[in-house]
Amino acid sequence: MSHPNQEWETPFCDACSCTKISCMGFWWPCGVLQKTHNMLQGKEPSAWGGLCCGFTAINMFVPPCGCILSWKQRDKIKKEYHLEDSCVKDIFGNLCCICCAVVQQHNEVEKRIKKAGPNKEGYVRSNGMQARPQGY
């Protein structure tokens, strides 16, 4: 079944708002990229991980190419939530303002996970491990 494309709920320039994630996006965009990636995977939204390291490594050697990771994640978000598609707009957005791009992605995923409620696949902290006797 085909779903109609929806609009993004979060504006592209949402990074201009003074929030913790906006500041993090400005100073540490790879951390925001990693947090969003983890939320999409249903994991704890931690800022540390392989995507963050890859983004940093790529940006050290070929700065514009770091945007490719953000652009690929953006594509995944668009497919997951059936968002409007504009490849050219996405590429230019990532090249011109990577901070805005990663903050928009993070805020969009966070809003949609909250909207879906606790039954939707997403990060839910467990109550810890419990030992149970084995049945023989």
Range of weakest confidence among 6-10, 118-122, 128-132: 118-122
CA–CA gap between residue 24 and residue 30 (Å, rounded): 9
Q: Exposed (0-12), middle (13-18) or buried (19+): which is 23, by Cβ within 10 Å?
A: middle
Q: What is the pTM of this model?
A: 0.75
Residue 109 has pLDDT above 90, yes or no: yes
